[in-house]
Structure 1
Amino acid sequence: MPQRPANRVAALLAGTLVAGCLAWPIMAQTDATADPASDVQLRPSLPLEPAQDSAAPEAGAEPVDDPATLVDETADPAANNAADLAEVEATLSLSRERIDALKAEIAAMEGDRTQQNAALIAAAQRVKLAEIEVADVEQRISDLIVRELEVRGRLDGADTEIANVLAALERISLNPPPALIVDPGDALGSARGAMLIAAILPQLRQRADAVAADLQALTEIKQAALAEEETLKANHEVLEEEQLRIATLIAARKVGIDQMSVELQAEEAEAIALAERASTLRELIGALSERAAAGATAAPTTADPDLPQLSPEAIELAFADAARTQPAVPFPLARGYLVPPANGVTVVDFGANDGRGGISQGQSVVTRADAQVLAPADGWVLYKGPYLNYGQIVILNAGSGYTALLAGLGAITAEIGQFVQMGEPLGTMGSRTIGRTVGTKAGNDQPTLYIELRENNEPFDPAGWWARQEQTG
């Protein structure tokens, strides 16, 4: 039996909408057996926030060293270095060929401290830029997730509207208006049916256009997410490769240090003894500076009233000398050139409320988990290790009466008595706050680096001393 016009319209519209609704989950979802990276539902390769640890120490609590991470100081240094490298390699996904190539590249520098220093600082710079790019990519992925949720929310809301329209069309098909050509007496019912169809049709077209636009938006979000994941993967490969390069370079340099380590071991023992006796940072830095002034660490500790006048070009040239074993320039001339020790967000500035009822004597920077920490200036390592409730700390003697303190690290690779160049890796942050927490909305469980600069043991505002941060495109 031939269908009436109203029936054919209703069937056609219903078929169109049903086909669209069936296509929606097909377009928006991928087969469960497909590559997870191709799923429209975004899943970043790494968590956007650093790993949380419910066992983070309370403010004022002393950190407890993990026995699994302790190194036997009495063992053969070469064996310790090899064990450290093996541990790093075990965490990497680099190919064996690439690892061997990196080792061969660094082995070719054996005994050349200048080349090793230059390679170490260059690798640290690449890590720094990769960390910035990773943070940017993760933020963009986070934005894509928000966009995807908004689109999916609109599509979920469209389900109800489309279901109501389909129900109305089904009712029309079950009780259609009479055909005018068959029964002229029912012209009023036919007109009413035509008016109903005419009212519904624009709404159906509008909803169909909106659904099509949202499906297209989901496709574009999927494509953007896949591109960002590729960028993120490439940057993580850079981080892994440079992590191995830095670890191997540090191990190679330690071989030379270990050959004359008797004096350094005595200096380290004395520094540790001073740290055990000191009850405050001021007391510790004062005692370490006095020992340095007495000749244990060959660095000028008083400011020179007749500082040389150097042009910016001359200062940059001095910092480019990878063979230096003394600060490139007197510390006051380094204003505006110091390297920010870690990428992150400054959550507490000098002079602000420190969240514990006091005034901050430095800056607190929230970093990524396991973020790299660099030497902010040239100097000698006066102390490294745990201290009170500050976690792992590093104190540098920058000469001219200046010191730099970095606290809250998870691991330290520098050695007491070692001269480090600005931008050289000193260690890494942990996966959470280590030592004193920072009372901010950023979250107390995030890794937080505390930075303090002192002149003649008096803290001063480091703002204006940092070099401008590099930006990536």
Structure 2
Amino acid sequence: MIRAVLALCLLLAWPAAAQDDPARAAAEAAARLEEAARLLDSAEGGRDRVEALTATLRAYEDGLAALRDGLRRAAIRARAIELDLAAREAEVSRLLGVLSTLSSAPAPLLLLHPSGPTGTARSGMILSDVTPALHAEAEALRSQLEELALLRLLQDEAAETLSGGLAGAQEARAALSEAIAERTDLPRRFSEDRIAMAALLASADTLAAFAEGLPVTVAAEGPGAAPPAPEPGSLPLPVEGTLLRGFDQPDAAGIRRPGWILAARPGALVTAPAAATIRYAGPLLDYGQVVIVEPGPDLLIVLAGLATVYGTPGEVVPAGTPLGLMGGAEPADVQQILTETTGPVAGTRSETLYVEVRNGQSAVDPAAWFASRP
């Protein structure tokens, strides 16, 4: 995977000013893959292993994103070259014909002119002026054809690279799930009253009602301390995504939700935006799999729409701890990548995560708590 991303950097090196960003992103992703592999090899304890696997999975996500972006750019560039060559077909044919004549005919014969020495001298002068321009045109054509060959080679070899990257990412997800299940070193603030939680799940008909009833699900206080409350406007996003619908904005059916809807990639890792206590993890109403964390007194962050959730109520997790994975499957075929829609939801970001922030008994705009608008 690392070699493939580095090869992608080299193949995307035309002209540097136009392709600098994707090449740099691919190089950084390759460096992160190498660093994550070193972290994974050196991990010993449960928490170290979770952190190393989290870094590994992030690196795979970055590398695959760079590969997808590079493949699309390569396809666009290849198509542009093909169209340019097709538009200049007659010109290219004439150039090849002239070059063929120049290369096959003896030089003295090219300079001879039927009108005699004067005409021969003039033809020599004209030929000396024209030849550099012909060579320049031939060099530009050669560069285009070489670039097109490299781009086609990239697309031909990308299937194996993509398959290996997807397999590596899936292996990292499975290992991460196993490491989190085996983790025993997290402090606990409380133990859950399962009977009270079951009753709350059966009776709550809204997310607000469920959030308000969470205090009654605490069976006993634990030794863990509550994490310090974060500063408003300081939190990173729980998933790398694009804002699809903002706070209290209606959807196509006119339904309003007091939170954000983020479009994310299939299988994307969802992490805790701050050190927090897990208050709930599991299915809830029509929200799918949900994680509710408490980063501070009377402050809840609801993350809904996941396919897999991690953690147990009562655990205190550090910032950046994996809380779950988005659903869906990444395209495993190069042609799918080249033809998929590049909008915020279709194609690369086909999954949606609902993010709600509750301060006290009210839902507030997440913009007040997160550092940047997605």
Tell me the TM-score range normalised by the shorter chain. 0.5 to 0.7
Any unmatched runs of 5+ in structure 1? 1-37, 43-97, 110-115, 171-178, 185-192, 300-323, 434-439
Residues 1:283 and 2:209 are matched in the alignment:
yes
Equivalent positions of 1:113-152 (< 5 A) are 116-152=46-82
Q: Would you tell me which structure has more strand in proportion to its own residues? A: 2
Q: Hey, what's the Cα distance between the residues in 1 that align with 2:258 and 2:47?
A: 32
Q: Determine which of 341, 365, 378 is the counterpart of 2:238.
A: 341
- How far 1:132 sits from its partner (Å)? 3.5
Q: Hey, what's the Cα distance between the residues in 1 that align with 2:197 and 2:286?
A: 18
Cα shift readout 1:135-161 (whole Å, capped 9, x = no counterpart): 244323322221122112223334344
8 Å CA contact retained: 1:297, 1:380? no
Q: Provide the alpha-carbon RMSD of the alignment.
A: 5.3
8 Å CA contact retained: 2:242, 2:344? no
Partner residue in 1 for 2:177: 247
Partner residue in 2 for 1:310: none
Q: Hey, what's the Cα distance between the residues in 2 that align with 1:360 and 1:284?
A: 15
| TM-score computed with the length of structure 2 as normaliser | 0.63
Q: Hey, what's the Cα distance between the residues in 1 that align with 2:84 and 2:248?
A: 48
8 Å CA contact retained: 1:103, 1:248? no
Q: Hey, what's the Cα distance between the residues in 2 that align with 1:150 and 1:352?
A: 40
Q: Hey, what's the Cα distance between the residues in 2 that align with 1:229 and 1:432?
A: 16
Amino acid at match of 1:362: G
Q: Determine which of 345, 356, 364 is the counterpart of 1:443.
A: 345
Q: Hey, what's the Cα distance between the residues in 2 that align with 1:334 and 1:256?
A: 23
* Mean CA deviation greater in 150-159 or 400-409: 150-159
Partner residue in 1 for 2:219: 296
Q: Hey, what's the Cα distance between the residues in 2 that align with 1:247 and 1:169?
A: 64
Q: Determine which of 225, 228, 237 is the counterpart of 1:326.
A: 225
1:448 is paired with a residue whose SS is strand
Equivalent positions of 1:18-29 (< 5 A) are none
Amino acid at match of 2:138: A
Residues 1:427 and 2:324 are matched in the alignment:
yes
| Cα distance change, pair 337–271 in 1 and its aligned pair in 2 (3 A) | same
| Cα distance change, pair 394–463 in 1 and its aligned pair in 2 (3 A) | same
1:296 is paired with a residue whose SS is strand
8 Å CA contact retained: 2:43, 2:52? no
Q: Determine which of 371, 375, 381 is the counterpart of 2:272.
A: 375
Q: Hey, what's the Cα distance between the residues in 2 that align with 1:451 and 1:408?
A: 9
Q: Hey, what's the Cα distance between the residues in 2 that align with 1:343 and 1:216?
A: 37
Amino acid at match of 1:250: I
* Mean CA deviation greater in 424-433 or 201-210: 201-210
Partner residue in 2 for 1:156: 86
Q: Hey, what's the Cα distance between the residues in 2 that align with 1:230 and 1:432?
A: 17
8 Å CA contact retained: 1:328, 1:378? yes
Q: Hey, what's the Cα distance between the residues in 2 that align with 1:121 and 1:274?
A: 33
Partner residue in 2 for 1:63: none
Equivalent positions of 1:367-406 (< 5 A) are 367-406=264-303
Q: Hey, what's the Cα distance between the residues in 1 that align with 2:157 and 2:251?
A: 41
Partner residue in 1 for 2:335: none
- How far 1:452 sits from its partner (Å)? 0.8
8 Å CA contact retained: 1:288, 1:382? yes
| Cα distance change, pair 125–206 in 1 and its aligned pair in 2 (3 A) | closer
Q: Hey, what's the Cα distance between the residues in 1 that align with 2:52 and 2:236?
A: 13
Amino acid at match of 1:279: D
Q: Hey, what's the Cα distance between the residues in 2 that align with 1:238 and 1:444?
A: 24
Q: Hey, what's the Cα distance between the residues in 2 that align with 1:126 and 1:336?
A: 28
Equivalent positions of 1:31-430 (< 5 A) are 106=44, 109=45, 116-163=46-93, 207-218=137-148, 221=151, 239=169, 242-253=172-183, 264=192, 266-267=193-194, 269-289=195-215, 291-292=216-217, 295-296=218-219, 298=221, 325-329=224-228, 331=229, 333-430=230-327
Q: Hey, what's the Cα distance between the residues in 2 that align with 1:127 and 1:102?
A: 11
1:370 is paired with a residue whose SS is coil
Q: Hey, what's the Cα distance between the residues in 2 that align with 1:103 and 1:203?
A: 58
Any unmatched runs of 5+ in structure 2? 1-6, 13-36, 101-111, 117-122, 331-341
Q: Hey, what's the Cα distance between the residues in 2 that align with 1:202 and 1:383?
A: 74
Q: Among the aligned pairs, what percent are the same residue? A: 25
Q: Hey, what's the Cα distance between the residues in 2 that align with 1:234 and 1:468?
A: 33
Partner residue in 2 for 1:65: none
- How far 1:245 sits from its partner (Å)? 4.4
8 Å CA contact retained: 1:130, 1:235? yes
Amino acid at match of 1:442: P
| TM-score computed with the length of structure 1 as normaliser | 0.52
Q: Hey, what's the Cα distance between the residues in 2 that align with 1:327 and 1:133?
A: 36
1:271 is paired with a residue whose SS is helix
| Cα distance change, pair 198–404 in 1 and its aligned pair in 2 (3 A) | same
- How far 1:281 sits from its partner (Å)? 1.1
- How far 1:121 sits from its partner (Å)? 3.7
Q: Hey, what's the Cα distance between the residues in 2 that align with 1:255 and 1:400?
A: 23
8 Å CA contact retained: 2:273, 2:319? yes
1:430 is paired with a residue whose SS is coil
Cα shift readout 1:280-337 (whole Å, capped 9, x = no counterpart): 1111111224x15xx43649xxxxxxxxxxxxxxxxxxxxxxxx933321x2x44354
Amino acid at match of 1:335: P
Amino acid at match of 1:462: P
